[in-house]
Amino acid sequence: MLEYTGIIKQVRFYSEDTKFIVCVIDSEQEDKPILATGYMSYVNPQDKYHFQGEYTIHPKYGKQFQIQSYEIILADDESEIIRYLSSPLFKGIGEKQATAIVETLGKDALNKIKEDKHVLDSVRGMNEKKRETIIEVLSSQDFDQEVLSFFMGHGISTKNLALIQAVYQEHTLDVLQNNPYQLIDDIDGIGFKTADELALKIGVDPLDDNRMKAAVLYALKEACFQDGSTFQEHDRIYKNFHRFIPNISYEQCDDYLDELIDEEKIIQEVEKYYPFDLYESENIIAKTFQRWLKAPLYKYDDEEVNQLLDDLQNTLAIEYDDLQKEAIRLFLEQSAMILTGGPGTGKTTIVEAIIKLYTKLNPDQRIAMVAPTGRASKRLSEVTGLEACTIHRLLKWDLHTNTFAVNVQNPLDIDLLVIDEFSMVDSLLFSNLLSASCKVTKILLIGDDQQLPSVAPGHVLKDLLESQMIPTVKLDRIYRQSQESGIIQLAHSIRNDHYQEHLFFDYKDIHFQTCASYDIVNYVKVLVSKAMKEGYDANDIQVLAPMYNGVAGIDALNDCLQELLNPHDEYKNELRVGKRIYREGDKILQLKNRIDDNVFNGDIGILEEICYKDNFEFLADTLIVNFDGVYVEYTANDFYTITHAYCMSIHKSQGNEFKIVIMPVLKGYYIMLKKNLIYTGLTRAKQSLFVIGNHQAFAYGIANNHDEKRRTTLSEKMSQTQSISPYDFM
């Protein structure tokens, strides 16, 4: 750990919300100023600090000192005290008055003032207003130092300190000492585990009522995220709670549950228990669609639409069939529509037509095109010719606070909202999007209801379809250009529960190779090597598997493929992180959204450079990854957000497409083998699909359509008649 003592010479950037700072430190240990970044809850350029941290390399801004901890040093030199007291921090105290204070009280002036404010009465030119200003500032700084010492003494990060103090300010210590679990409700990004760790560090009784209530709420939320439900039943909550807080009776747990219901942190409807935010998310979705569906329908001139449709067909050299034309007209007439269907059914064709016709008929209308992932949004842009982005970027998600800058108070200024890959959108994200869509008059949802549902709670596309409240076009015809594709034929046979093994023999682009689990790794290497010899590169080929562990798991496959595609080379830097070795040239998968860097969960990049700390004077080990021209740096705190991408999970592959997909399917995967998982995996392939493993396991998986039902109530709420006020959306 590197240590510096000095003042903040310049503040280049400081966020009052997140407390993130970019500054220049004038250090006693270095001749040159130091560029530093970090989190500081309190900043005064005139103060002297003791900093601890390490250097990192930013791909754009270069070498930076990363502040990990700091403390304020009280000025003890007469010239420093004069500079300090004459700073803008002490309003009304200039250099002349500061000099008089030091001449009268000496170099121990600050301590003398803190002990007895009346010592200032002996200073020439001092009045009551000046005295109170000095006392107020010094008291405030004492408090800041006390808070800082408290946090550092308990091993709490400067980032968490900054977040907490930004909310509670002078009440920070009171809140922490009275009920640290309040942080969960008040501060976005701090959950039960962080708050509980902090609470136990500062000596909170493990049986404290606040801890018990926070644990019950956490048990409910964790259960919802585990199975994708928006509510749970009583027994599941208790079972989850008892798993990490044992020796608490059923009756005691019930008492805490009742208190949370009274506080409206948990909503109870008969035997259903919802976290408040998930309950509200379903209400917001239902109310918003009811508003759209009650809006008067706009009727376009049939002759004008037909003429524009004819012109479009001539321009694109395409002829729309009756169902496609029906879908286009339905979209134009309705305020909300769902377009669903499998691959090869013309969703892309219809979306292109819809957008081109709509812009012709409504040239002044503002359109937002979004998708859950970066790659899906890029494909949507390519199809429509309009700029598309992720939902998080549209809503201006703040990584540090986990909040959206675009919301009900600051809504989207658009007329039409188009969402692609909608099966991936969860209840909370969708409700946030709809809350910001009070000006939107028309929405189009596009998705395949047979794909995997969202990772987070909710089953929004399925629930909306089941409600039968929203006009829907279901595409099931495979068009001529797609009929020769074995991938598409296989997908539809599985989708329609008509799978036949002979399909693998009838088409050249799909293959099934029987293979034992112990031989999967070797066979994958053979297939990848063959593809590379045929001119494909590592980005064209994607291995997909459902599980991380085992001889044919994701981890084992990544290890073997790294050895094959990017072997050890004395000219390439390497870095060991746990059991994993990162090497320059590696294929890298992003696991968390980094909206500030325009990189999202599921994006794939190349590890361009590894910078070692030993080569750069205390520099932290740094990985620099290139995501299609966007360079992102990763240090130790960020390593958990990436992994190798030679093999990835089917869940992480959603929203992506690859020329070649290799998908092991084994009996050892049986817990994960489900129809929607296999269907999602094989539909990622554009040119060739290789399924390797056990045919019985494959047949079992595609027949297993009894996925554990997500417990949601959106479909019911959609069909309920509710009184809607305009104020519901303000």
Q: Is the torsion defined by CA of 370, 374, 380, 385 positive or negative?
A: positive
Q: What residues contact residue 417 under an 8 Å CB cut-off, 6+ apart?
A: 367, 368, 370, 433, 437, 440, 442, 443, 444
CA distance 436 to 431: 9
- Residues of the chain predicted below pLDDT 50: 616-618, 722-730
Give the count of alpha carbons within 13 A of 282, CB side only.
25
CA distance 59 to 63: 9
In the prediction, which pLDDT does 726 show? 34
What does 70-114 look like in DSSP terms, one character per residue? EEEE---SHHHHHHHHTSTTSTT--HHHHHHHHHHH-TTHHHHHH
SS3 621: coil
Give the count of alpha carbons within 13 A of 478, CB side only.
17
Q: Is the torsion defined by CA of 666, 671, 675, 677 positive or negative?
A: negative
- Please, is 288 exposed, middle or buried when counting C-beta atoms within 10 Å of its C-beta (0-12, 13-18, 19+)? buried
In the prediction, which pLDDT does 550 show? 86
CA distance 513 to 507: 14
Residue 247, by phi and psi: left (phi above 0), alpha (psi -120 to 50) or beta? left
CA distance 179 to 496: 55
pTM value is 0.78
SS3 532: helix
Each residue of 516-525: pLDDT tens digit? 999 999 999 9
- Please, is 250 exposed, middle or buried when counting C-beta atoms within 10 Å of its C-beta (0-12, 13-18, 19+)? exposed
Rg (CA), the chain: 30
DSSP H helices, 643-685, are: 650-653, 675-682
In the prediction, which pLDDT does 318 show? 87
CA distance 26 to 11: 12
Tokens of 357: 């016709």
Q: Is the torsion defined by CA of 139, 141, 144, 148 positive or negative?
A: negative
In the prediction, which pLDDT does 142 show? 61
Nearest Cα residue to 639 out of 663, 614, 607, 671 = 607
SS (H, E, C) 388-413: EEEHHHHCCEECCCCEECCCCCCCCC
In the prediction, which pLDDT does 637 show? 74
- Please, is 537 exposed, middle or buried when counting C-beta atoms within 10 Å of its C-beta (0-12, 13-18, 19+)? exposed
What are the Cα distances from residue 416, in Å, to 222, 293, 334, 344, 438?
35, 15, 12, 26, 11
397-402-408-411 Cα dihedral, nearest 10 degrees: -10
Q: Are strands 587-590 and 642-644 parallel, antiparallel or unpaired?
A: antiparallel
378-381-382-385 Cα dihedral, nearest 10 degrees: -160
Each residue of 222-253: pLDDT tens digit? 999 989 999 999 999 999 998 888 888 889 99
Give the count of alpha carbons within 13 A of 364, CB side only.
0
